[in-house]
C-alpha cells in the first residue's frame, strides 16, 4: 500500500495518527537543523518535517538528496504545525517523517511547475505531462470532467439516450474538408472522420429514438487558426416531434443546470433576438450583451439634414454607438489611438467620426465643418445621449460598416471596463438565413447545413429562381451565444424527401450527387421520418466561456499546435512503406518548401 491518505486530506483532527503519503516533491526548505518538504498530489499539498534532534541521521541525509518533482512515499505522524498556513486546507498540520522511500527520481524540469511558469508554449506542449501538473491546467481538466458529468446527468435525466455514432464514415465534399482514412479491406476506398454526427443523429430520429445525445469527438481538416483544433468535442443532441421553442427551452435548461452546478451561477433570462436585429444593432450574429451600446443608424437624418458631407450622404450605412459619460476624460490622444485601431487592416474602416457632448453643454466633433450644434443635437437625441456622452460613428458599405462598428463596440467595451468579471449574458439568436451567397464560387451555401429546414412560411419561396428572394429565405435555425461567444447552434431539420431534394438542388447538387452522398438519408425520409431538430454545443468552447477564459487549448489535455502537430508524441509522422503498400497508396514527391 502506497498511502493511507492523499496530500489534501489531513486536518487538525487527524493529529496523532500514523499515516503514509505518496506524491511529488514540490519544494524543500533546509534550515540545517530542520528540513521541510512540500509533498504534492492531485488533491493538495502536505508539509513534511524532519529535524536533527528527532529524525535518524540516515533519513535526514536521504531527505536532503530529494529534488523537485521526485516521487516519494513517506510514513510518519500527523502533528500540529507551529506556524500555521491558512492558505491551504492542510495548513494546520504537518507530518513528522519516520520513513522515506524514493519511488522515482526526477531530472530538473525544463520549466517551473507553478501557476506563473517560466515555460514557453512550445516547451510546455512538448513536456505536456509537466504542464498538466500545474494547478490551473489540472483544475481546467477537472472542470471539464465535471461539466461532462453534469451534462450527462441533465440530459439523461430528461430522457435523452446517449448513442455512439461511428467514427469511420463517408467523405462528403459539402462543408469543411474531411480527414480521410484509407481502407485496407476495400482497396482504393476511404472512410472519413465525422465533422459531426449530423446524418446519424437524424437517422436515429427516423429510427424512433426520440431524444438522442452524445458527447462526441469531431474532426475538421481546416487550416488551423489560433484556438482551432483538428479534433474537438461536441455536446450533440437531437429530438423528435419538437418545434424550435421546445429545443430552445430544453437547452436553456441544460445551460442553466451547468452554470448552477459547476459555478453556482444563476443565469439571467435567455432573450431571443433575430439574426437581422443582431446584425443591425450589434454588427454581429453573436452579440456580447454584457454591455449596451446598441447601434443607431443615421441614414435618415443624414439625408434629411443634407449638408453636403458626401462621405456620409453617399454611404450605404451611417451608424454609431454612444459611450456614456466619457466625453471629458477621452483625450485627443485616445481618439487618435482609436482611429488608428479602426483603420488597421484587420478592421478596415476609412476613418472614425466622433461627437462629444461636453458637460458644459458644448459639442466637440470631427465633422464640425459640416454639422452645427443643432444638427448634432438632433443626432444625440437619436442616441439618447446626455451631457458627458460621446458618439463614435462609422460609414460605408452596409455589411462592412456593421462589422467594423461591431468590432469598435467590443473594443470600447473592453477599454472602458464595461465588462464585469463573473457576468454572464446568454442570448438566443434566431431566424438565420437559410442560404448564404458565395460571390467567389457564384453559388449558394447552406448557412447552417444542408439539412436545415426553411421556415414554414418560406417553403413556397424556395421554388423561386430569384436570388434576392432566395437570399431572404429564413430558417428555423438558432445559435446560443454567451458573452459574445457562440456556444452552439442548431436547427429544425427537413424531414421530407422532396423538400430535402429541393434544398440540395439550391445548393448546387445534381440529383446524382445528392443520391450518392446522402441517398441513405433521402431513403430514410421515405419510411416514416418524424419532424425533428437538434443542436450541438462546442464543448471545448463551453468550458472556456464558463471559466471566463479565451483559449480552448487550455481545456484540452493533449492539444495540437497550429500545424496540427502533437508536440509531445511528435505526430503526425512517417509510416512504413509496407503500411502504404497494404493500403494501395503511393506518396507523391513532395517538393521542398511544401
- Fill in the DSSP letter of residue 322: E
Asked whether 338 and 410 are in contact (CB, 8 A), the reply is no
Nearer to its own copies, 487 or 529 (CB): 529
Nearer to its own copies, 184 or 467 (CB): 184
Smallest distance from the beta carbon of 553 to its own copies, in angstroms? 13
Nearer to its own copies, 193 or 475 (CB): 193
**Does residue 364 belong to the site contacting its own copies (CB under 8 A)?**
no
The binder of its own copies chosen from 32, 310, 374, 527 (CB under 8 A): 527
**Does residue 556 belong to the site contacting its own copies (CB under 8 A)?**
yes
How far is Cα 183 from Cα 321, in angstroms, rounded to an integer? 56
How far is Cα 262 from Cα 260, in angstroms, rounded to an integer? 6
The DSSP-derived string for 380-432 is HHHHT--TT-EEEEEEESHHHHHHHHHHHHHHHHHHTT-S-TT---EEEEE--
How far is Cα 164 from Cα 151, in angstroms, rounded to an integer? 16
Closest CA to 352 of 413, 310, 311, 314: 311
Nearer to its own copies, 163 or 311 (CB): 163
Nearer to its own copies, 180 or 347 (CB): 180
The binder of its own copies chosen from 77, 221, 297, 486 (CB under 8 A): 221
Nearer to its own copies, 258 or 391 (CB): 258
Smallest distance from the beta carbon of 166 to its own copies, in angstroms? 5
Q: State the SS3 of 32-75.
A: CCEEEEEEEECCEEEEEEEECCCCCHHHHHHHHCCCCCCEEEEE
- Mask for 285-314, x = binds its own copies (CB under 8 A): ------------------------------
The binder of its own copies chosen from 136, 182, 253, 472 (CB under 8 A): 182
Nearer to its own copies, 416 or 585 (CB): 585
Q: How far apart are the first and last CA of the chain?
A: 54
Query: Which of the ranges 31-39, 82-90, 254-262, 525-533 carries the binding residues for its own copies, by CB under 8 A?
Result: 525-533
Nearer to its own copies, 392 or 518 (CB): 518
Nearer to its own copies, 33 or 129 (CB): 129
**Does residue 459 belong to the site contacting its own copies (CB under 8 A)?**
no
Smallest distance from the beta carbon of 182 to its own copies, in angstroms? 7
The binder of its own copies chosen from 83, 104, 331, 346 (CB under 8 A): 104
The binder of its own copies chosen from 5, 10, 19, 24 (CB under 8 A): 24
Consecutive H or E run containing 236: strand 231-240
Q: Are strands 211-219 and 161-162 parallel, antiparallel or unpaired?
A: parallel
**Does residue 129 belong to the site contacting its own copies (CB under 8 A)?**
yes
How far is Cα 487 from Cα 480, in angstroms, rounded to an integer? 6
Strands (E), 150-196: 161-162, 180-182, 190-192
- Mask for 146-165, x = binds its own copies (CB under 8 A): --xx--x---x----xxxxx
The binder of its own copies chosen from 136, 348, 472, 531 (CB under 8 A): 531
Asked whether 284 and 278 are in contact (CB, 8 A), the reply is yes
Please report, as residue ranges, which positions from 227 to 246 form the binding site for its own copies (by CB under 8 A). Answer: 230-231, 233, 240-243, 246
Angle at the Cα of 486 from the Cα atoms of 484 and 489, rounded to 5 degrees: 145
**Does residue 70 belong to the site contacting its own copies (CB under 8 A)?**
yes
The binder of its own copies chosen from 13, 145, 328, 372 (CB under 8 A): 145
Q: What is the largest CA-CA distance in the chain?
A: 94
Nearer to its own copies, 36 or 179 (CB): 179
**Does residue 99 belong to the site contacting its own copies (CB under 8 A)?**
no
Asked whether 392 and 353 are in contact (CB, 8 A), the reply is yes
Asked whether 449 and 521 are in contact (CB, 8 A), the reply is no
CA dihedral 177, 179, 183, 187 (to 10 degrees): 40
Query: Which of the ranges 55-63, 191-199, 392-400, 472-480 carries the binding residues for its own copies, by CB under 8 A?
Result: 191-199
Smallest distance from the beta carbon of 583 to its own copies, in angstroms? 7
Smallest distance from the beta carbon of 463 to its own copies, in angstroms? 21
159 grid coordinates: 430522457
How far is Cα 254 from Cα 151, in angstroms, rounded to an integer? 7
The binder of its own copies chosen from 35, 37, 41, 435 (CB under 8 A): 41
Sign of CA dihedral 283, 284, 288, 289: positive
The binder of its own copies chosen from 42, 414, 467, 505 (CB under 8 A): 42
**How many Cα neighbours within 13 Å face the side chain of 335?**
21
The binder of its own copies chosen from 224, 307, 347, 378 (CB under 8 A): 224
Smallest distance from the beta carbon of 499 to its own copies, in angstroms? 11
Nearer to its own copies, 8 or 325 (CB): 8
The binder of its own copies chosen from 199, 284, 305, 453 (CB under 8 A): 199
The binder of its own copies chosen from 13, 65, 186, 510 (CB under 8 A): 186
How far is Cα 572 from Cα 563, in angstroms, rounded to an integer? 10
Query: Which of the ranges 1-9, 30-38, 390-398, 486-494 carries the binding residues for its own copies, by CB under 8 A?
Result: 1-9
Length of the chain: 594
**Does residue 548 belong to the site contacting its own copies (CB under 8 A)?**
no
The DSSP-derived string for 415-480 is HTT-S-TT---EEEEE--BSEEEETTTTEEEESS-TTBPBPGGGTGGGG---HHHHHT-BBSEEEE
The binder of its own copies chosen from 12, 329, 498, 571 (CB under 8 A): 571
The binder of its own copies chosen from 10, 50, 193, 543 (CB under 8 A): 193
Helix, coil or strand: residue 217: strand
Nearer to its own copies, 484 or 533 (CB): 533
526 grid coordinates: 421515405
Amino acid at each position: 500500500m502506497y498511502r493511507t491518505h492523499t496530500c489534501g486530506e489531513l486536518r487538525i483532527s487527524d493529529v496523532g495518527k500514523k499515516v503514509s503519503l505518496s506524491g511529488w516533491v514540490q519544494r524543500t526548505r533546509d534550515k540545517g537543523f530542520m528540513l521541510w518538504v512540500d509533498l504534492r498530489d492531485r488533491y493538495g499539498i502536505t508539509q513534511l518535517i524532519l529535524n536533527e534532534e528527532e529524525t535518524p541521521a540516515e533519513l535526514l541525509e536521504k531527505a536532503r538528496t530529494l529534488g523537485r518533482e521526485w516521487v516519494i512515499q513517506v510514513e510518519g505522524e500527523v502533528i500540529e504545525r507551529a506556524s500555521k498556513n491558512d492558505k491551504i486546507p492542510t495548513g494546520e498540520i504537518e507530518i513528522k517523517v519516520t520513513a522515506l522511500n524514493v519511488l522515482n527520481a526526477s531530472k530538473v524540469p525544463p520549466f517551473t511547475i507553478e501557476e506563473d511558469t517560466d515555460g514557453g508554449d512550445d516547451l510546455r506542449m512538448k513536456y505536456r505531462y509537466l504542464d498538466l501538473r500545474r494547478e490551473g491546467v489540472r483544475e481546467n481538466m477537472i472542470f471539464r470532467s465535471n461539466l461532462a458529468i453534469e451534462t450527462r446527468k441533465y440530459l439523461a435525466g430528461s430522457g435523452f439516450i446517449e448513442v455512439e455514432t461511428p467514427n469511420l464514415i463517408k467523405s462528403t465534399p459539402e462543408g469543411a474538408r474531411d480527414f480521410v482514412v484509407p481502407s485496407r479491406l476495400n482497396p482504393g476506398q476511404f472512410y472519413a472522420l465525422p465533422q459531426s454526427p449530423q446524418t446519424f443523429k437524424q437517422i436515429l430520429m427516423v429510427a424512433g429514438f426520440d431524444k438522442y445525445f452524445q458527447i462526441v469527438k469531431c474532426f475538421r481538416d481546416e487550416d488551423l487558426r489560433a484556438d482551432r483544433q483538428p479534433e474537438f468535442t461536441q455536446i450533440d443532441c437531437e429530438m423528435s416531434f419538437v418545434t424550435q421553442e421546445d429545443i430552445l427551452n430544453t437547452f436553456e435548461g441544460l445551460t442553466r443546470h451547468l452554470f448552477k452546478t459547476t459555478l453556482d451561477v444563476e443565469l439571467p433570462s435567455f432573450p431571443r433576438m433575430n439574426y437581422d436585429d443582431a446584425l443591425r444593432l450589434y454588427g454581429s450574429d453573436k452579440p456580447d450583451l454584457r454591455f449596451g451600446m446598441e447601434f443607431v443608424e443615421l441614414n435618415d437624418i443624414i439625408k434629411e439634414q443634407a449638408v453636403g458631407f458626401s462621405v456620409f450622404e453617399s454611404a450605404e450605412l451611417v451608424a454609431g454607438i454612444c459611450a456614456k459619460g466619457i466625453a471629458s476624460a477621452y483625450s485627443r490622444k485616445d481618439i487618435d489611438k482609436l482611429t488608428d485601431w479602426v483603420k488597421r487592416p484587420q478592421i478596415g474602416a476609412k476613418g472614425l467620426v466622433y461627437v462629444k457632448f461636453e458637460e458644459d453643454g458644448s459639442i466637440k466633433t470631427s465633422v464640425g465643418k459640416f454639422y452645427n450644434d443643432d444638427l448634432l443635437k438632433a443626432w444625440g437625441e437619436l442616441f439618447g445621449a446626455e451631457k458627458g456622452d460621446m458618439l463614435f460613428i462609422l460609414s460605408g458599405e452596409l455589411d462592412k460598416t456593421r462589422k467594423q462598428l461591431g468590432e469598435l463596440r467590443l473594443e470600447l467595451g473592453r477599454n472602458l471596463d464595461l465588462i464585469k468579471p463573473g457576468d454572464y449574458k446568454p442570448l438566443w439568436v434566431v431566424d438565420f438565413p437559410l442560404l448564404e451567397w458565395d460571390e467567389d464560387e457564384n453559388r449558394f451555401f447552406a448557412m447552417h447545413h444542408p439539412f436545415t429546414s426553411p421556415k414554414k412560411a418560406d417553403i413556397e419561396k424556395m421554388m423561386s429562381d430569384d436570388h434576392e428572394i432566395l437570399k431572404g429565405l429564413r430558417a428555423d435555425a438558432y445559435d446560443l451565444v454567451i458573452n459574445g461567444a457562440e456556444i452552439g447552434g442548431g436547427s429544425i431539420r427537413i424531414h421530407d424527401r422532396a423538400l430535402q431534394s429541393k434544398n440540395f438542388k439550391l445548393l448546387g447538387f445534381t440529383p446524382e450527387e445528392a443520391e450518392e452522398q446522402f441517398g441513405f438519408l433521402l431513403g430514410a425520409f421515405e419510411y416514416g421520418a418524424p419532424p425533428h431538430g437538434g443542436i450541438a454545443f462546442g464543448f471545448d468552447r463551453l468550458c472556456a466561456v464558463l471559466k471566463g477564459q479565451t483559449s480552448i487549448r487550455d481545456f484540452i489535455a493533449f492539444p495540437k499546435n497550429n500545424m496540427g502537430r502533437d508536440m509531445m508524441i511528435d505526430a503526425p509522422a512517417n509510416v512504413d512503406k509496407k503500411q502504404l503498400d497494404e493500403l494501395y497508396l503511393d506518396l507523391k514527391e513532395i517538393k521542398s518548401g511544401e
